[in-house]
């Protein structure tokens, strides 16, 4: 029986869960986009990927591109990962415009979350209480179910909020909106900022994702950035 605060769970085309939180109005990924999840997109024909990443360099989403990402944050097995390796499950090193290509591939309603959506989801999941894998309704044996089950059962992440890895994960790209543009009307990376609260072992930080966000300054910082998606109806 689902309590009122317990989010409704849906799945995207990769089989990973989206949750709908009361009052939020959008569905948002329960987990940041995982490498195994993103690799489904990478497995698409180049034409499909190219359409998704319209306007990006031709080699985007190519092997070399992906290897550069993996060099920043190597891959870990989703079947058998250690607690301290969990960030390696998450796709990082990606730029926001590249992440948008993945969102478009998921469907026309998919997008990167706006910062307020991300924060509302973070608060909503904190109120959701304890996580039950059965309640989530994920098919057993899928990558998503396996990752969640391992995080939940073996690594002690008991709540929806813990499992969302909004805290204890990586920095995630969010849209900050045009109102934040300065006098220079800059576009590009600064329309996106990072929120989230990584583990100190991954990136020592004092950010409070509910109050603060960070901007990317150097390419090296990309290794800290992943993303999750929202689906707006």
Partner 1 sequence: MVLCPNCLSEVDLGKAAGMGGTGDPACPSCKDTIPLRYVRDYAAYPPIVLSLIGLTGHGKTCFLAALFRKLALIQKEWKSFCFSPLDESGMVVLREKLGSLEKGLLPKRSMKGFPKPTIVRLEGVPQLSQCHLLIYDTGGEVFGQVGQLIKFGGYVVRSPVVVWLASLEDVDGPLQLENMLTVYLEAMFKLGGDPKQQRLLFVLAKGDRLRRLGSSGALPPELEAALDRDPTGDEELLKLSRAIGHWLEGYPGLTNFVRRAGREFAGVDFLVTSALGGEPNKDQLDVSAVPRGVLAPVLLAWARQTELAREETARKRREREQALEKAQAKNAREEEERRQARIAAQRKRLFGVLGRVGRALLSGILGAVEGAVITAVLWAAIRFAARCSLMWEPIPSVLTTMGPTGVAGAAYGAAAWGIVAGVEAFLGAGNRTMRDAMRQGGIWFPLLLAGAGFLVWGGGAVLELAGQRVSLAGVWPEVLGVGAVGLVEGGKAGTLASAVAVLLSTLVAGRENLLVSTGGTLPLLLGLTVVGGVAGLKAGGDYPWLLWAGVSAVIYLVVALVARHWGAHR
Residues lying near partner 1 in the complex (CB under 8 A) are found at 171, 194, 200, 203-208, 211-212, 214-218, 220-221, 223-224
Question: CB of residue 35 vs partner 1: minimum separation in angstroms?
Answer: 21
Q: In what order do the strands lie in the sheet with 225-226?
A: 192-195, 171-175, 225-226
Q: Which is nearer to partner 1, 48 or 83 (CB)?
A: 83
Any idea what the Cα angle at residue 119 is, between residues 101 and 176, rounded to 5°?
50
Q: Which is nearer to partner 1, 154 or 180 (CB)?
A: 180
Question: CB of residue 136 vs partner 1: minimum separation in angstroms?
Answer: 29
How far apart are alpha carbons 219 and 223 in whole angstroms? 8
How far apart are alpha carbons 103 and 212 in whole angstroms? 24
Closest CA relative to residue 170, chosen from 121, 221, 112, 97? 221
Question: CB of residue 53 vs partner 1: minimum separation in angstroms?
Answer: 24
Question: CB of residue 104 vs partner 1: minimum separation in angstroms?
Answer: 26
Q: Which helix (H) or strand (E) holds 29?
A: strand 27-29
Q: Which is nearer to partner 1, 116 or 200 (CB)?
A: 200
Q: Which is nearer to partner 1, 82 or 180 (CB)?
A: 180
**Residue 52, number of CB atoms within 10 A of its CB:** 20
Q: Which is nearer to partner 1, 59 or 212 (CB)?
A: 212
Question: CB of residue 114 vs partner 1: minimum separation in angstroms?
Answer: 17
Q: Which helix (H) or strand (E) holds 231?
A: strand 230-231
User: Could you tell me if 191 and 176 are in contact, meaning their C-beta atoms sit under 8 angstroms apart?
Assistant: yes
Strand 171-175 with 225-226, pairing:
parallel
How far apart are alpha carbons 149 and 131 in whole angstroms? 10
Q: Which is nearer to partner 1, 63 or 179 (CB)?
A: 179
Question: CB of residue 23 vs partner 1: minimum separation in angstroms?
Answer: 24
């Amino acid at each position: 029986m689902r309590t009122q605060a317990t989010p409704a769970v849906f799945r995207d085309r990769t089989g990973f869960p989206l949750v709908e939180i009361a009052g939020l109005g959008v569905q948002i990924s329960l987990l940041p986009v995982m490498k195994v999840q993103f690799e489904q997109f990478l497995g698409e024909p180049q034409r499909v990927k190219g359409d998704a990443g319209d306007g990006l360099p031709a080699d985007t989403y190519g092997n070399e591109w992906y290897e550069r990402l993996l060099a920043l944050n190597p891959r870990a097995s989703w079947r058998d990962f250690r607690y301290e390796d969990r960030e390696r499950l998450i796709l990082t090193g990606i730029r926001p415009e590249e992440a948008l290509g993945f969102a478009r591939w998921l469907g026309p309603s998919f997008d990167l979350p706006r910062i307020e959506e991300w924060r509302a989801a973070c608060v909503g999941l904190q109120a959701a209480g304890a996580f039950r894998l059965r309640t989530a309704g994920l098919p057993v044996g899928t990558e998503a179910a396996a990752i969640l089950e391992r995080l939940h059962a073996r690594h002690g992440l008991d709540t929806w909020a813990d499992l969302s890895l909004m805290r204890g994960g990586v920095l995630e790209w969010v849209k900050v909106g045009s109102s934040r543009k300065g006098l220079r009307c800059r576009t590009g990376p600064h329309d996106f900022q990072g929120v989230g609260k990584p583990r100190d072992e991954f990136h020592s930080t004092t950010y409070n994702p509910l109050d603060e966000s960070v901007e990317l300054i150097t390419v090296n910082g990309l290794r800290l950035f992943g993303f999750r998606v929202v689906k707006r109806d």
